[in-house]
Amino acid sequence: MLSLIKLPPVLSIKEVPKVFQEDSIMSGYRPPRSSATDCVLSLFQMTNETLNIWTHFLPTWYFLWKLVSVVFLYSAWQDSYTWPLVMYLISICLYPLASSCAHTFSSMSPRARHICFFWDYGALSFYSLGSAISYSFYVFPDKWVNSSFHQYFIPIAVCNSILSTGLACYSRLGLPFLHYNQDSVKRFPEKPSPNLSKAVRVVAFAYPYLFDSIPLFYRVFLCTDDGCTHNNTNLIHVYHIGLAFLTGFLFSTRFPERLAPGSFDYIGHSHQLFHVCAILGTHTQMQALEQDMLVRRPWLLEHALPVSFGSSVGAAILSLLSTVFIISLFSLPLLLPAMSKDRVPTESGHRKECQH
């Protein structure tokens, strides 16, 4: 069937604009003005994005199945204690789905590429908050439960998720809405310092993760006295931490393609490995959180503050609304010039639709 469909061609790095180029990836690029149909068809041919898409698209359905299973298994609508886990599971469904969509449709145009990855960044920031909410209710060591740090943990995590989205979007274009002029439509290329932009992006996602993990790091590596919450889940948390740091290393260093440019264009480049490690790390984190939720439930219900709507679902909704607002703020200046091209002035001063 696919043999009867004309698949989009693949291009070399010299044939695509700089905004589409990836460091040390020399070939396998899709046409930079692909249609939505071409983008979907490219899922079934080998490009340098194909495995990036599938390594996040397929796990999305597994995490969605897990979400539905947890909701019905634990009757989540009746048990507020499970709400943090549900918020976390929603976040791990959204971030791989947003990532796979971003990679799929990013070759439609430079503007589309930026907007696609704005949503990708927003989903990652929401994932950081989903992790923080679950950590707050299931992972905190016994001796830190109900401490001042514990009480401010989720509000700070909400602020971190909002800051992360804004900083990641800023790393692509700066502040385009400060430069938009209705009388003179500007093009918005990638920021001129890609290495600096990448560094800002790494900080935007590393900081929330490190903050969220403070109680986990203390519990697993530093705490030695009573109230340290020693149980079998700690080993699973250690596996997750190792995968998380490997994920960050691959994202920030561009290994292995930096060692042999052109050798890993289709299979084995850092972004593919980054996706795989991220999904494995998320799966391990999910296992640890669910086990902590079950094993520690009697003690937490007796000693910790009860889960409230505001500290779980409410915090997630606030973060989502703020993320959509920030993405809209960065996307609107990119969308307005594109829409203005669809209308041209007539001799009478009125405007009419262009005929394509």
Please, which pLDDT band fits residue 280 given cuts at 50, 70 and 90? Answer: very high
Residue 220 domain boundaries: 42-338
Distance between CA atoms of residues 238 and 221, nearest Å:
9
Residue 179 belongs to a domain with what CATH number? 1.20.1070
- Does residue 51 sit within a domain? yes
Q: For residues 222 and 231, what is the distance between their CA atoms, to the nearest angstrom?
A: 15
Quote the number of domains for the chain: 1
d(CA 20, CA 104): 13
343-345 and 351-353 beta bridge pairing: antiparallel
Q: Which amino acid is at 180?
A: Y
Q: What is the pLDDT of residue 12?
A: 97
Q: Tokens in use for 336?
A: 């307005």
- CA distance linking residue 64 with residue 72, whole number of Å: 13
Q: Does pLDDT of 348 surpass 50?
A: no
Q: Is residue 18 part of a domain?
A: no
DSSP 26: -
Q: Does pLDDT of 344 surpass 90? A: no
Give domain status of residue 227, yes or no: yes
pLDDT of residue 227: 87
How many other β-carbons are positioned within 10 Å of the β-carbon of residue 279?
Answer: 23
Please name the amino acid found at residue 271: H
Q: What is the pLDDT of residue 190?
A: 55
Provide mean pLDDT across the span 211-218: 97
Residues comprising the chain, all counted:
356
Asked if the model's pLDDT at residue 3 lies above 70, the reply is no
Residue 153 has pLDDT above 60, yes or no: yes
Q: Does residue 19 sit within a domain? A: no
Which tens digits make up the pLDDT trace of 85-99? 999 999 999 999 999
Q: Is 138 part of a structural domain of the chain?
A: yes
Q: What's the whole-number average pLDDT of the chain?
A: 90
What is the share, in percent, of the chain residues with pLDDT greater than 70?
A: 88
Count of CB atoms situated within 10 Å of the CB of 332: 13
- The pLDDT tens digits of the residues spanning 19-76 come to 899 999 999 999 999 999 999 999 999 999 999 999 999 999 999 999 999 999 999 9
- Mean pLDDT score, 105-129: 96
Contacts of 340 (CB under 8 A, 6+ apart): 185
Give the closest residue to 198 by CA, choosing from 313, 129, 141, 121.
121
Q: Please, are residues 207 and 237 in contact by the beta-carbon 8 Å criterion?
A: no
Consecutive H or E run containing 351: strand 351-353
Question: What is the pLDDT, as a whole number, of residue 197?
Answer: 86
User: Does a structural domain hold residue 302?
Assistant: yes
Q: How many C-beta atoms surround the C-beta of residue 204 within 10 A?
A: 23
- Give pLDDT, residue 226: 84
Is 12 a domain residue? no
Which amino acid appears at position 223 of this protein? C
Nearest to 131 by CA among 87, 65, 80, 99: 87
Q: Specify if 343 maps to a domain.
A: no
